[in-house]
Structure 1
Amino acid sequence: MSDEASRPQGRQHGRYAYSPLPRRPPYDWPGAKRLAVYVALNVECFDFGGGLGAELAPGGPQPDVLNYAWRDWGNRVGVFRLAELFDALSLPASVLVNSRIYAECPGLMDVFRARGDEVVGHGRTNAERQGTLPEDAERALIAEATAILTREEGRAPAGWLGPWISQSRATPDLLAEAGYRYLLDWCHDDQPTWFSTRGGRILSVPYPQELNDIPSIVGRKDSGAQFAEMIVDTFEEMRAAASAAPLVMGIALHPYLVGQPHRLRPLRRALAHIAQHREEVWITRAGMIADHAIGLPDGMVPG
């Protein structure tokens, strides 16, 4: 027996095959552009006195008023400051929405509906993870959230991001079976990727964990200025690299973090820098990236 055959094999997910970026066929985004940039705005709600939630400071006994109120500020103030910023820079957005937002924050989504922004499914609430649920319960969660978003927005969402990037082993199958065209949970690539499911396939659109204000500001304790500098540096590096291959750059934002004035100001500078290059790059929404990739000839998108 060869050494290779006798070597223990690790557990694999079976969703996509290995595909090194330099060996893939090139293609263009609309307008013969090579870098697609989108902003993902997470609009989330949390349970008072329990459940999960990011922390400004180490939480005390429940009810943890400090951290709950800090997060709630995002839905009362910060989210509208970000919408104003997007308007000022003529930036589209993909709005990742917990379905309970409609009941808990009535009218909040009106501003994004008026802007024509894309609404992406984001579970019921960020006080829970879907990936820990039995399959029937996870299917019911997806169905409940989808029904509310469809009723409120007049159309079914095409994309999904699990609360806390939470997936079970069945999540891509359940999303495809529920009619979703793409998911955002995996940060394994800089291009869209086809995922195999038990009933066909679903597209994975790159969603950032580096250019994401929770890992950056909450996790690594980066300042608002450091996070903004990361955005500019990533944009410039990917703008140069995209001459060789089409790339996707996402920016993940949360109103209770970057809506704060001392973080909003450097964020404004970073997004303005990107907006100045709109003739060269495709500033778009995640769903439009998915639509373009789905329409490419077979073999262009890895899977």
Structure 2
Amino acid sequence: MAVYIGLNIEYFHPDFPSTSIWPGTAELKPDALNHGWRDYGTRVGIWRTIDALDRYGVRASALLNSDVAEHFPQIVAAGKERDWAWLAHGQTNSTLHTGYTLDEERRLLEGITHTITAATGRAPHGWMGPGLTETHNTPALLAELGYQYVLDWTNDDQPYPLTVPGMLSVPYSVELNDLLIFGKGFTGAEFVQMVIDQYEQLHRDAPTGGRVLALALHPFVIGQAFRHRYFEQALEFLATAPDVWLTTSDDIAAHYLLGDAALKPPRGA
């Protein structure tokens, strides 16, 4: 079983409504309540999360808004020191990736790709849109720019080829996702149990072809102090579980593209 940590590293404009813990103030300018909650991730939560990843020797798959390179270069520097995989996650999570003409989107994607490549020293191979958004042209435009895969289509436990030649869908999760889990009121202990249950079922499924366990995290959620111990428990479980390849989404895509039988396409793909 392949396991990767999808670490969302996002920039939010102060006066734009976005992911909120309390929607009642989301339209205010300034919205100190919600923006402060989100900003905790890049000021505090990310460093706590990095400490845990380091402790268990885990390389993150960093889903990076390109605006982070300008506003939080210290986070990019920390990821470069740790050889993270870098995926493009749009420009900012204050804006969904939708509503563009073909030429507008091409220019935007070129700019995002250039910014991330310049900041990290590595061209991104993977894409996840802000809020998992795309246009109908996004995969083809990404292929033109040298991308290999997207995470937006969360409809399988295995990678599979898109209809755009050379492009894959790699599994991501909106269920095993801290923002959704804790947003629904589940506890840290329940989060750990969900990770264990996901592993155990996918492990049972794996004899017919390898499976992918994607753990989706946001530093302003999982990085809260009272949740940290549970994140460490989940990492410890995954790092010591049998038959786990603790890797990155880049390596999963490359492994699939090499045609290794350990990660077969599902029947009918």
Specify the TM-score bucket, using the shorter chain as the normaliser: over 0.9
Paired letter, 1:130: H
1:274 maps to which of 215, 238, 241: 238
Moved more, 184-193 or 235-244: 235-244
What corresponds to 1:265 in structure 2?
A: 229
Identify which of 203, 213, 217 aligns with 1:239: 203
**CA positional deviation for 1:225:** 2.6
Distance 2:125 2:212 in 1: 18
- What's the counterpart of residue 11 of structure 2? 45
2:50 & 2:244 partners in 1: Cα distance? 22
Give the C-alpha shift of residue 133 in structure 1: 2.2
Which structure is larger by alpha-carbon Rg, 1 or 2?
A: 1
Q: Which residue of 1 aligns with 2:179?
A: 214
2:34 corresponding residue in structure 1? 67
List gaps (5 residues or longer) in structure 2: none
Tell me if the contact between 1:130 and 1:141 (Cα under 8 Å) persists in the aligned partners: no
Q: Distance in 1 between matches of 2:188 and 2:29?
A: 29
Q: Structure 1 residue 111: deviation in Å?
A: 1.2
SS of the aligned residue for 1:87 comes to helix
Cα distance in 2 for residues equivalent to 1:124 and 1:238: 33
What is the identity percentage for the equivalent residue pairs of Structure 1 and Structure 2? 37
TM superposition shift of 1:54: 1.3
Of the three residues 68, 82, 86, the one matched with 1:119 is 86
Partner of 1:179: 146
- Structure 1 residue 226: deviation in Å? 2.1
| Cα separation, 2, equivalents of 1:142 and 1:206 | 22
Secondary structure in 2 aligned to 1:206?
coil
Aligned to 2:135: 168
Unaligned stretches of 5+ in structure 1? 1-34
Change (3 A) 1:217 1:134: farther
Normalization by structure 2: what TM-score? 0.93
Query: Do 2:5 and 2:215's aligned partners in 1 also have CA atoms closer than 8 Å?
Result: yes
Alignment of 1:115-154 (within 5 A): 115-154=82-121
Contact 1:224 1:258 survives alignment (8 Å): no
Contact 2:86-2:122 at 8 Å conserved across structures: no
- Once the two structures are TM-superposed, the CA of residue 297 in structure 1 deviates from its matched residue by 7.0
* Corresponding residue pairs, total: 264
In proportion to residue count, which structure has more helix? 2
Alpha-carbon deviation of 1:112? 1.2
Matched with 2:252 is 289
RMSD of equivalent CA atoms:
1.7
For 2:167, the equivalent position in structure 1 comes to 202
Distance in 1 between the 2:82 and 2:24 partners? 36
Q: Distance in 1 between matches of 2:180 and 2:92?
A: 19
Query: What's the TM-score once normalised by structure 1's chain length?
Result: 0.83
